[in-house]
Structure 1
């Protein structure tokens, strides 16, 4: 039977690699950065300034763990239903998109985080948690590696064969994403903290991967095949880069420079709010510049926000609430799959020089497909618990299905965005775990 491609796994982490900066081939012994725009920006010593104490007093404050309501418990059970319906027992993996047998390491990191959150919430038994965790680790051990070094960017969840983003087998692979690997590294750390018996197999797995290949000089580096050659790319935009750097640092990798946004920070006024953006502009680098909710929410739910990330997250949230107050349009933007071409979009507060840009991986703008994101709504509500976030959640209540939460609702006409994805449901579980018990890594 032909694959149903309506909700196909769009090149989500090709998105993340196109968020990377193509700067040429690295020498085996080091990083060769020429006199290009990237090198010029990163050699500058000016650091982005942060608000003074008076401005900081106006910031929203992350809420502590405070327990769940009856509705929250129901919402959590809906989210876990995705992982029941889309689990591949033969490999231990979960499909990234409903009925499409493909996934990346980012997706499996999200699944593992969902598994830890579900166990922490008591939605699954300890036996189920241990059985599924062991199966996932066994699947990860079976993965063929790109050039024998690190996991490929995408795999068939039925066979674990290396594939491209169309799920076509590519025996030699298509490269690795440092951000995807970092997402899994964060989840593996959460797993061994929750269940120390998994520490030895986790470390045995990671010892078989060349983790050092994904970092150099404090930066994160991915690899891609181009015209039969392997090229190395510096990865990350604001938010994503800092999240991945914190994950890599948990395993002793050299990601210090990428762990702060200050070297690449520029403030942009949006809806009267000064929002932190990435000053490495798309025109110079040929890469999209999404300022999105997801990396800040994940930092909060998994590790807790740093002082820097708390400011950036607070401003990002305030701009979304301010847009609603100014226009009456419910606003909750996130990277999300959509149920039509181009299948995956970055809903942003700022991107590629535009306020409220909705970007494809190629940089095309789709304002007519801006969604009110379910996972961002639940996430911001868990973090701040405001009257506005509660309004968002109430407006999206009808997105629950027997197999998990749908992605969101289109702003322009209120139609449901009927994509059904792993990452939406994983973020819901992480958010509700945070609301009930606090960050996962504690």
Structure 2
């Protein structure tokens, strides 16, 4: 009996010692994991998700579960509203990759979802120039106008870039699907998107013609440039995008030199493109020169610092981004600077709406994960409550009075998932150039080129593109 008791005592003591050793070594193990994954190279909050953060990810994924159309695999841009854009299809692919990597679904579900989307994309009706349309019906997968009429209306470079990024990310983390993904790119005609001198062009239908304009937004233009470089294009350097500087609280904020009175389009500076550039490229990849890297980083730092300064000086928590609403105006630009004024809030038609200034959920998550500071801690103290467990994360909280904007959008929930994926991934989500694959193999036969002004064609045919 005594021997038995001694044996049990030794066993318990040994178990306690093992637990203590594991407990003591856990920070060391986490530290090694941090270093192995390149934590020193990337800013912000890095490491495994805790229980609360994993719950946040599950809430964001709920939006996609609720809004996926089984006929196409596409996801509604807003809760229960059946349209989407190439930008939001890109968001969907990013969210799908993040959800799989975070363990929110099994491989079988991932395969079913991705396969359905790729099937739709490989059949997606394009505009007459061979470019994805601005909007699509998520049930039918057909081009539509903003008022849901069945006509193509044009394209936006930033939207196409976002879709290209989502496709690249899916191929990077799930390379077994790469050939199907590259077939999507091979369908598109880039001759109208990228001019011979590398300018990126938007277009809209006007009197049965396509009116084209060079992308002039400093933030989204720079982001689009990075994505096109990722796929092998050589767009004009982002330093060539004409810009001016505004001074807000002593901080320089770059904005487009376009005159909104002439173009009819608001000139808006908001957080989103700078946050995505940080999450995906850490503001330095795949930029070709150190000067470009520095400029990307400097502008992103300014976007962060100016919002932090408003909190420090005016005691106003600030996280600005575009957002959706459940009533008119349906889309609002929550800006750092817009149409000549700081902290301007504009309806999509350019109407001044200071009453709608919003503490944006999507901006909160991006700022929080990229900058580990007391300011972003304060943002998340409120932002963590911007959700409904059955529907996802809603758009945010109004600065005027603190009421909730309970519109639910695909882009906001994708940003939540991407931000948490960045943390779990120990930094930038895109770290390498695409490997040679199906697209390169198809382009080896110069006699069967599609004449779509793809990078390989441009290298051999200097006159190709934009003609």
What is the TM-score with the length of structure 2 in the denominator? 0.78
1:116, distance to aligned residue in structure 2 (A): 0.9
Higher RCO (CA-CA < 8 Å; seq separation 6+): 1
Alignment partner of 1:213: what SS? coil
Give the whole-Å Cα distance in 1 for the aligned partners of 2:210 and 2:240. 31
Q: Given the alignment of the two structures, is residue 416 of structure 1 paired with residue 404 of structure 2, yes or no?
A: yes
Query: Counterparts of 1:30-429 in structure 2 under 5 Å?
Result: 62-63=43-44, 65-147=46-128, 149-170=130-151, 173-216=152-195, 217-257=197-237, 260-261=238-239, 263-306=241-284, 307-401=294-388, 402-429=390-417
Computed over aligned residues only, the root mean square deviation of the Cα atoms, in angstroms, reads: 1.6
Runs of 4+ in 1 over 3 A off after TM superposition: 283-286
Higher Cα radius of gyration: 2
Tell whether the 8 Å contact from 2:395 to 2:405 is kept in structure 1 after alignment.
Answer: yes
Alpha-carbon offset, residue 302 of structure 1: 1.6
Measured against aligned partners, the alpha-carbon deviations of 1:123-146 in whole angstroms (never above 9, x if no partner) come to 222222222111111111121111
Task: Tell me, in whole angstroms, the C-alpha distance in 1 between the residues paired with 2:135 and 2:312.
Answer: 41
Partners of 1:81 and 1:236 lie apart in 2 by 35
Equivalent-residue separation in structure 2 for 1:262 and 1:318 (angstroms): 24
Structure 2 distance, partners of 1:420, 1:245, is 29
Provide the secondary structure at the position in 1 that maps to 2:385.
helix
Q: Measure the CA separation in 2 of the matches of 1:429 and 1:435.
A: 10
Determine if the alignment matches structure 1 residue 439 to structure 2 residue 451: no
Change beyond 3 A, Cα 1:276–1:232: closer
Distance 2:48 2:239 in 1: 32
User: How much has 1:75 moved relative to structure 2?
Assistant: 0.9
Q: CA deviation at 1:262?
A: 5.8
Output the TM-score relative to the length of structure 1. Answer: 0.82
Q: Identify which range, 205-214 or 407-416, moves more after superposition.
A: 205-214
Matches of 1:339 and 1:116, distance apart in 2: 28
1:91, distance to aligned residue in structure 2 (A): 0.3
Preserved contact between residue 216 and residue 256 of structure 2 (Cα < 8 Å): no
In the TM superposition, residue 273 of structure 1 has moved relative to its aligned partner by 2.1
Q: Which runs of 5+ in 2 are unaligned?
A: 1-41, 285-293, 432-467
TM-aligned CA deviation for residue 419 of structure 1: 0.6
